[in-house]
Amino acid sequence: MNISGGSLPAMSGTAQSGEVYSAALAKKQQQADGAAALALIEGAASSSAAQTPTKSVTASLGNNVNVYV
């Protein structure tokens, strides 16, 4: 969607031009939010791929639990 003053019909009054300006600002903000969300998703995907799984200390760790008081 492209919002520009040249493609819109002639409008009378400043309230309507203010609405067009407001819509253009909202579009820019939505694009910035979308770009930030994509960057966050890409950053999370690359950091999770770089992490290595943790290795267990021993296979018998936690097998003996003292339940007597």
Task: Tell me how far apart the terminal alpha carbons of the chain are, to the nearest angstrom.
Answer: 71
- Mention every residue, 6+ apart, whose C-beta is less than 8 A from residue 11: 17, 20
Domain segments of the chain as ranges: 17-50
Q: What is the pTM (predicted TM-score) of this model?
A: 0.48
pLDDT digits (tens, 9 = 90+) for 5-14: 555 555 556 6
Q: How high is the pLDDT of residue 53?
A: 60
CA proximity to 20, closest of 2, 1, 5? 5
**pLDDT (average), residues 46-66:** 66
Q: Which residue has the higher pLDDT, 16 or 10?
A: 16
Name the amino acid, one letter, at 64: N
Lookup: tokens for 64: 């003996």
